[in-house]
Structure 1
Amino acid sequence: MKYNIIIFSTLLCSLSACVEDEGNYTYTPVNEVAVDGIEERYSALAFFDEINISPNVEGSVKGDDISNYEFAWYRCYNNHTHDTISREKDLNWKADVQPGTYTLYLGVKDKETGYNKTYSTLLSITSPYTRGFLILGNRPNSGNLVGLDMLTMVQGKDTVYVQDVFDNSELQLRNARSMSYTGYYMRGTNFYITTDETTHKFSFSDSFEPIAELNQMKIIEPLVPHKKPIKLKDVAMRQGVRPSYSYLYPRVYLTEDHAFACRPSTSEYMSEPFNRYSQTSEDFFRFYPYVFYDQRQAQIGYSTGTSPVILYDLDNECFSYLAGPYTMTYMKAFDNNPSHGDNLWMNCKKYYRTIVYGENDFSTSNTYCNAIMKESVPDQDVKYLLYRFVPTFSMFGGQCTIKSGTGKAYTLDLSVMTDFLKAEHYYFAGAYSLMYYSVGNTLYAYDYVNNRLASKQFDGRITYLEAEASSNMSNNRWFWVATFDGTKGHLYKMVASIDPNKIEFIDLPRNNWEVNLEVKSVLWKGQNSY
């Protein structure tokens, strides 16, 4: 009985408490937010497209009144790094980010209650790097840190200038010099960036990532003493060549002190330099760092009549050609045999001539090799000449000759050519008898047939002057001029004059860009490059 009384009393107290508290609590319904209108995935082209999302936001209490909400759109990448890209309900955001897959979040916050809800979707940003011009140079005010930018050209869209195609923060490459692309067909597809200190290979597809330093790749492993690290000076066949049968030609790499080649249709592994005159010689000559060849033959790609590979021997002051076709380990010098074509002047030492500059024309027809030569005959005034010639083989590995009628030497009139001896950059306009050269911020154009000169002033110092023949193989009049004023760069695409009565400097409409680089090299990247 004692226990029953206690239980009964407890129940009475409980019931009494419930009756006394009735009506003392006010319950406020929670405003739960619901969002729809966001798809599971969105796609865009980097640097071109805009992401537009207009979600429907409705609260369980406030309905479609969104005045008391705060919105935040942000993207998540690289192990949960978050960037806020908008604080509006509707997202209208240009995809100015590198290609990749991101998670896109929308956060909705009720300012009264602090209630916060997050929604997510996937964002696929595809590469715009399929087609356009790569621009290599040094970043202003960075201690010459290398930058790689691009003028991306997507069909149906305007050209867009994109900075930092690759992230140089880890490698810290400095002092840009050149880009090289070795093409495809049965051998490695290699894209290189060379600086004052090193050469690196990069991917050349939908992104640009460093793969390896050249010395680590084991492509070139000399069996003789050589400069270290190995740095590329030139590659052949270079950009601008799109042969139908490019595997019929050797691939040539010039380093600082040696020249290497691999046979057609073989993998790229080179160990024996060929800048010598016998297969067993250990006497390697110094060479001008440029490969001469006949652009026309490289374009046609026939198995006969192929173009020889020619270097200029700085030790013996003569042009020499790669012997073969199978050894790829030595060269032959041009001789003075009249039966070998118009090549009597190719033995330059005999005529007291030395090379100043050399480059090939770029076009599908009527192209030459060009070499500016200095002639220093004892007890005579110094002269400067322009050699224009077309080398040819009857069959690769045979006797190299200069094609009949093509070996010409033009005397350059320095009394007309203002500041020519101070020239920093050169460009030959193919079949139009024009040679361009730059000094400081001035571009000169010299007609070496009619002995005339014209000039054009730019706002900044000219840092780059070269043919632009790769994007349109039928045009050999386009060329690049890049300038730098100390804080910013400018890139101009121009057209060589063809009027025989005057020299004009013709700008291509809508083909000049302000760039954040001191430009050193420009390279065309097509969908199927070269």
Structure 2
Amino acid sequence: MKIHHYTLILISLLFAASCSKDIGVYEYHDINELKISGVASTINLRRTLDTLHLNPTIDATLDDGDINRYSYAWVLSSGPKIFDTIGREKNLHYPILLNPGPYNLYYRVLDKKTGIKGMSNITLNVSTAFSRGLLIMGEDEEGYAEAEMLSMLNDTIHFKHLLSESGLPRLREPVNFFHTGGTYDPYIKLWVNTKTQSYYLDRVTLKSTPANTFSRLIYASESIDQATLHPVVIAPQVMQANGYNTSSGGSSYRVILTKAGDIFACYLAINGGDFYTNPVNKASDAPSVRLVAAPYLLYPINNMSSFMWYDIKNQRFLNYTSLGSTNPAAVLTDKDDGTEPFPWNQAKTGRKLVYAENTRAVESGYANGISFAIMKNAANVHYVYKFYANGSAPARIGAYTISSIATNFDKADFYAFSSNRTVIFYSVGNRLYAYDYNPGKERVYEFPSIGNDPITMLKFDTQINYATNSLYIATYNSSTKGTLRRFIVGSNPNVVELLPQENSTWTNMVKIKDINWRGLN
């Protein structure tokens, strides 16, 4: 026991001696710790318009005032293996000429006396001046088609003369300025569509050449009149502010309807891109005969996996579910027992299609967006058809006869269906009306506050934030030119109110025919 006790004492003395020697071995020095501040972690920039100005603050714990003590590097990365040093000064002033996309910017500060480094990482999101905003198509003072844009990035900028300065020939009969949306770059296009010709533009510069036509994308064996082979309707539309045309990103499908009433359908991934074969505007009861389609494609905005179209010759709605093939459209069946709100085949009713529109309206069982059509018969009586143009068995939801109280409905220049209420806005010249078609509660309203200028467009927002029930109204006169205003349709079920929105009036524009949203490059 004693031997064990003495052994422990000896070990303790040796350990203490060892520790006392270690105290004299190490020398401790303060290091120059570097802290970088004054730089945001994420910065949004516009190509060619913006210059990146960064003036970071560097706090050093041992700063001796020697400005030559430090070296700097600004390193830009656009991928895991692509790096470029764009600056070697403390501050950075860098004009943005980068292609649109995300970048990583690394700031490195080196203390050359100690080898200590300070680091800061910044995410740069580069877009073009034209990456986000309202695309506007209309006529200039000479009656030529002209495109403009309300760019809405950090602030709102009105860009003019986009079509006339694009490098394309002058065009007439404007239809729309349309961004296809999506997430996969090779499938995205930006179209200027008119009834005289249509072209796709470079999405960054908005320039084009006469070679950029729809015919360049077609590999058809059928004879097609080249003079009418250009888009007037493209589906699906952008349906989110981020530029997506489905809730999950990019749609797998694209459908294009031309001036001649031909329809081309494409499954983008299978086709290897935005390419098309023979037209699909044929019916299963005559699969070799091309039928002229009315200028509307009817589908659920939230998710287009099929679409409907209207056969002008036979006055009937047809259904197309074979996207990715050239199969004919299905002829939909009708009952003769009066149990259905309306027949798909309108030949028996003597009614013809006047107008059609897709909305973001939803009901139980119809979650992806309801479509509407306005019909009229030989006696000039008008009807509204409400249906769900989805899948192999589209659903007829309702039919409504337009009451005689709807002043001038039969003379309307433009129509617009609310997604949130049973209301149709329509205009005749400079007069704006709203008709509530809710059965048993039909009412009509007139809005003289719109003014004396002729109305050139009515369009509800179904792309940016449809829940606000925003109605865009365009007017024009030769002195002040085009005006675009955004209104909110009130939610009071007992009255239709039209409420002007602050900072949502734009002037000195073209004679507007159509607007569409662009949310990405």
- Please tell me the TM-score bracket, short chain as reference: 0.5 to 0.7
Q: Equivalents in 2 of 1:214, 1:240: separation in Å?
A: 25
Q: Which residues of structure 1 form unaligned runs of 5+? A: 1-43, 53-97, 102-124, 299-306, 394-398
1:114-136 deviation per Cα after TM superposition (whole angstroms, max 9, x unaligned)? xxxxxxxxxxx984322221222
TM-score (norm 1): 0.66
In 2 relative to 1, CA 188–343 (structure 1 residues): closer, same or farther, beyond 3 Å? farther
**Shift of residue 423, structure 1, vs aligned partner:** 0.9
**What is the aligned partner in structure 2 of residue 129 from structure 1?**
130
Root-mean-square deviation (CA, aligned residues, Å) is 3.4
- Residues 1:465 and 2:494 are matched in the alignment: no
- Residues 1:272 and 2:263 are matched in the alignment: no
For 2:216, the aligned partner's letter is M
For 1:256, the aligned partner's letter is K
For 2:398, the aligned partner's letter is K
SS at match of 1:469: coil
- Residues 1:411 and 2:401 are matched in the alignment: yes
- Residues 1:256 and 2:259 are matched in the alignment: yes
- Residue 181 of structure 2 contacts residue 250 of structure 2 at CA under 8 Å; is this kept in 1? no
Q: Equivalents in 1 of 2:424, 2:176: separation in Å?
A: 22
Which entry has the higher C-alpha Rg, 1 or 2?
1
**Shift of residue 489, structure 1, vs aligned partner:** 0.8
In 2 relative to 1, CA 244–279 (structure 1 residues): closer, same or farther, beyond 3 Å? farther
**What is the aligned partner in structure 1 of residue 374 from structure 2?**
372
1:373-406 deviation per Cα after TM superposition (whole angstroms, max 9, x unaligned)? 1134xxxx5421100111332xxxxx3231xxx5
Match of 1:281 among 284, 287, 304: 287
Q: Equivalents in 1 of 2:46, 2:302: separation in Å?
A: 38
- Residue 222 of structure 1 contacts residue 273 of structure 1 at CA under 8 Å; is this kept in 2? no
SS at match of 1:502: coil
**Shift of residue 507, structure 1, vs aligned partner:** 1.0
Q: How many residues align?
A: 391
Task: For 1:285-364, list aligned pairs within 5 A.
Answer: 285-298=291-304, 307-324=305-322, 326-337=324-335, 342=340, 345-362=343-360
- Residues 1:195 and 2:194 are matched in the alignment: yes
SS at match of 1:281: coil
In 2 relative to 1, CA 516–431 (structure 1 residues): closer, same or farther, beyond 3 Å? closer
For 1:290, the aligned partner's letter is Y
How many percent of aligned residue pairs carry the same amino acid? 23
- Residue 361 of structure 1 contacts residue 428 of structure 1 at CA under 8 Å; is this kept in 2? yes
Q: Equivalents in 1 of 2:517, 2:353: separation in Å?
A: 29
Q: Equivalents in 1 of 2:327, 2:259: separation in Å?
A: 17
1:180-217 deviation per Cα after TM superposition (whole angstroms, max 9, x unaligned)? 22223456211111123100111223x31115431452
- Residue 180 of structure 2 contacts residue 190 of structure 2 at CA under 8 Å; is this kept in 1? yes
**What is the aligned partner in structure 2 of residue 214 from structure 1?**
213
**What is the aligned partner in structure 2 of residue 452 from structure 1?**
443
Task: For 1:67-78, list aligned pairs within 5 A.
Answer: none
SS at match of 2:269: coil
Q: Equivalents in 2 of 1:325, 1:284: separation in Å?
A: 17
In 2 relative to 1, CA 510–247 (structure 1 residues): closer, same or farther, beyond 3 Å? closer
**What is the aligned partner in structure 2 of residue 147 from structure 1?**
146
TM-score (norm 2): 0.67
**Shift of residue 151, structure 1, vs aligned partner:** 1.5
In 2 relative to 1, CA 480–45 (structure 1 residues): closer, same or farther, beyond 3 Å? same
- Residue 363 of structure 1 contacts residue 430 of structure 1 at CA under 8 Å; is this kept in 2? yes
For 1:468, the aligned partner's letter is D
**What is the aligned partner in structure 2 of residue 113 from structure 1?**
none
**Shift of residue 336, structure 1, vs aligned partner:** 1.5
Q: Which residues of structure 2 form unaligned runs of 5+? A: 1-44, 54-95, 100-125
For 2:290, the aligned partner's letter is F
SS at match of 1:210: coil
**What is the aligned partner in structure 2 of residue 431 from structure 1?**
420
